[in-house]
Structure 1
Amino acid sequence: MELPDGIDPARAWLAAFLAGLALVVAAAVAFPRRVYDGFLWRYFWGPVDADAHGATCAVRAGGTTERLYNQGACSAADGVVAAPGYTTVSTASYAVVLVFMLVGVLLLLRTLNVRLTPKFYVALLPYMLLGGALRVVEDTNVAFIRADLGMLIPYPSVALIISPFIYFVMFAFTLAVLVSVVVLSRRGVFDEYEPYLAGIGAVALAGTIGWLLYISATSDIVGFFPAVAIITLGGATLIAAVFWWASGRYAPVINEGTGYLGALIVWGHSVDGIANVLSLDWTDELGIGVTYGSKHVVNEATVRITDGLQPAWLSEAIGTAWPFLFIKVAAAIFVVWVFNDEIFDESPRYAYLLLIAILAVGLGPGTRDMIRATLAI
């Protein structure tokens, strides 16, 4: 594929990436207070810094960073204040970066002539689960800090498994594995690369889960409540099965483009929805004894609006996070319906990449919330 002026698209993408990176760095150096402190640190690095140290917020003033551990001190702080989690600005920025990186991956896959298929899609599933599991490793690190037991993973290395940096780490890791197995397959080392792609991801996931279970078994800081994982995975599987049956019987047009991948997408976003509901409203009933809060903009808004509209007695009985599950499932079904046969016929690579991103943004956070509540950290 060539641009109208004859420029190779892959080289144009790389040039745009390097130019954008250089522009950000130059602006941060030229205007450190406004660009670095007021934007980059406030919306991106500051939340990561606070999260890594288990702080309520981090404050940037006079070129130094201070971590505070109660809301009152954060409200009274003099300087640029950043709290763990996402804001509208950071969420929108990540969306722009995600789209740009997807275009880059698309161009790379075209250069390598990699054919995307449902088998390739499923092979990436362990990597989506791995991203969420690695976030729980960071949560475990914070739990040890709060218990005055020090860091399991030192700072700033731990920032690599905190949002948004973990997305870039997982992106680089997955891409490196993909390129490696594709090259080895082309050289005749093995016939199909998808099983090896899935296998490497599964080994990394098993190692991460195994480490977390080891910490759970050898430390009083980390608990073990398997009911959370059972309810989440069982409930998500039931929802996906009902969707698969109902769409096939009553509205086959919804799932004609994606096939069984549509059910997988609904499953992944159901995991996110159920894990959120359990974490926010049902920890006491499950005996976990840990209070969790919303970090995502949509989730937080859903809880706030439901709390304002729903009668107090009903909120007491069923909580206020339950609409988020319906929103996630409805959004997933809508996306599955949009991806019809025509989209796959016109641009199969782009269609598959978008579906991969759509599943990852639900399953990654959902996996984290599920494992975190399972371990009560």
Structure 2
Amino acid sequence: MIREFIMKYYIDPIRYGQPYTIVDTLTYAIILIISVYLIYRWLNTTGIAVDRKFILATIPFIVLGGLLRVVEDTGFITSDIHFLLITPLIYFVIFFFTIAALLLSRTLERAGLISSYHIGYAGIGTLACTISAAFLIWWGLTYSQVMVSVILIIMSLAIVTSAAVWGFMRYVLKWEYVSDPIYCVLIFGQLLDASATSYGIDLHSMTYTEAHVVGGALVAWTGTAFSMFLLKLAVLFPAIYILQQYRKEGNPVLWHLILLAMIIVGFAPGVRNMVRMVLFV
């Protein structure tokens, strides 16, 4: 019975690309919470400062996760290795690669080969993104197409909506703290996800669907994927307010890690969905 349960809710969805269910969604949410806590405990023993610089230097690895997910979407990898690039396994792959890059950069800094591990850390992530993006462009030009107008539309929609939301928070609600670059990245990442989803489902010539439980239910109920913006706003406003209250009184390291986790769950899917639509996969 346990084997059938695991196969139904965890193995088969990965193997056959099935939509998320309430069971696996809650499971992955719990794993995320536990992972954040364990990473927090580990980082406390390394002496690595988890601050604004650390978060911003990690952004390339978040983008990398989205790009590698599209590499799997292309079907170019035909061996069982491609399962490693499917959610949730890809999170573990990116995590271990990120940790390796972080430790290598830290070692180079201590050896005096680089002035700051942030430079090497972000550089490794940026290089990996460049290689992945180059492959995807090659694949698109060779086997499909590269529709630049799609990325321009989605990025423009994300930028405009992010600016509007940020402006409302900053000048109407008087939340001066949203000027922190990390909050700006959080807002943009979440609205990039909403922009890509909305465009893909309602406007793209190919047929895309919302795989997540809550988002899929909202789209079905409203009849439009642009309702994803409402979902994102319903999360962003209370989340940022609560995060800021915790920031004043809580642990700064844990605060940064929680914020990083929120950036990941919006930014990575947003990148993946946008690039898929550019390549028509």
Q: Give TM-score scaled by structure 1 length.
A: 0.71
Q: Which residue of 1 aligns with 2:207?
A: 291
Q: 1:147-296 alignment to 2 at 5 Å? A: 152-219=76-143, 222-253=144-175, 255-256=176-177, 259-283=180-204, 289-296=205-212
Given that 1:121 and 1:356 are in contact with CA atoms closer than 8 Å, whether structure 2 keeps it comes out as: yes
Given that 1:266 and 1:333 are in contact with CA atoms closer than 8 Å, whether structure 2 keeps it comes out as: no
Instruction: Tell me how far 1:304 sits from its aligned partner.
Output: 1.4
Aligned length: 281
Instruction: Tell me how far 1:302 sits from its aligned partner.
Output: 0.6
- Do structure 1's residue 306 and structure 2's residue 222 form an aligned pair? yes
Given that 1:130 and 1:208 are in contact with CA atoms closer than 8 Å, whether structure 2 keeps it comes out as: yes
Q: Which residue of 2 aligns with 1:99?
A: 33
| Distance of 1:375 and 1:272 partners within structure 2 | 17
| Distance of 1:153 and 1:258 partners within structure 2 | 42
| Distance of 1:172 and 1:268 partners within structure 2 | 22
SS at match of 1:252: coil
Given that 2:101 and 2:121 are in contact with CA atoms closer than 8 Å, whether structure 1 keeps it comes out as: yes
* Bigger relative contact order (CA 8 A; separation at least 6): 2
Distance of aligned partners of 1:341 and 1:44 in 2 relative to their CA distance in 1, 3 Å threshold: same
Identity %: 30
Structure 2 residue aligned with 1:110, among 33, 44, 62? 44
Distance of aligned partners of 1:327 and 1:42 in 2 relative to their CA distance in 1, 3 Å threshold: same
| Distance of 1:40 and 1:186 partners within structure 2 | 45
Q: 1:17-96 alignment to 2 at 5 Å? A: 34-36=1-3, 38-51=4-17, 84-96=18-30
Q: Which residue of 1 aligns with 2:57?
A: 123
Q: Deviations over 1:185-238 (max 9, x none)?
A: 23433221112111111111111111011011112xx22222221122122122
Instruction: Tell me how far 1:249 sits from its aligned partner.
Output: 2.1
Q: Deviations over 1:142-177 (max 9, x none)?
A: xxxxxxxxxx21331110001110011111111121
RMSD of aligned alpha carbons = 1.7
Given that 1:134 and 1:161 are in contact with CA atoms closer than 8 Å, whether structure 2 keeps it comes out as: yes
Instruction: Tell me how far 1:257 sits from its aligned partner.
Output: 6.8
Q: Which residue of 1 aligns with 2:277?
A: 373
Given that 1:123 and 1:194 are in contact with CA atoms closer than 8 Å, whether structure 2 keeps it comes out as: yes
Instruction: Tell me how far 1:40 sits from its aligned partner.
Output: 2.0
Q: Which residue of 2 aligns with 1:135?
A: 69
Instruction: Tell me how far 1:336 sits from its aligned partner.
Output: 1.7
Deviates more, 1:183-192 or 1:351-360: 183-192
Given that 1:228 and 1:373 are in contact with CA atoms closer than 8 Å, whether structure 2 keeps it comes out as: yes
Given that 2:109 and 2:115 are in contact with CA atoms closer than 8 Å, whether structure 1 keeps it comes out as: yes
Deviates more, 1:176-185 or 1:269-278: 176-185
Q: Deviations over 1:266-324 (max 9, x none)?
A: 100000001000111101xxxxx3111121111110111113xxxxxxxxxxxx11111
What residue ranges of structure 2 are gaps of 5+ in the alignment? none
Instruction: Tell me how far 1:345 sits from its aligned partner.
Output: 5.1
Given that 1:43 and 1:89 are in contact with CA atoms closer than 8 Å, whether structure 2 keeps it comes out as: yes
| Distance of 2:139 and 2:103 partners within structure 1 | 33
| Distance of 2:232 and 2:270 partners within structure 1 | 11
Q: Which residue of 2 aligns with 1:359?
A: 263
Deviates more, 1:348-357 or 1:41-50: 41-50
| Distance of 2:248 and 2:256 partners within structure 1 | 8
Q: Which residue of 1 aligns with 2:243?
A: 339
Q: Could you say which structure has the higher helix fraction?
A: 2
Instruction: Tell me how far 1:350 sits from its aligned partner.
Output: 0.4
| Distance of 1:366 and 1:332 partners within structure 2 | 15
Letter in 1 for 2:159: T
Instruction: Tell me how far 1:258 sits from its aligned partner.
Output: 7.0
| Distance of 2:26 and 2:163 partners within structure 1 | 33
Q: Deviations over 1:317-343 (max 9, x none)?
A: xxx111112211341232222221652
Instruction: Tell me how far 1:241 sits from its aligned partner.
Output: 2.2
| Distance of 1:294 and 1:101 partners within structure 2 | 25
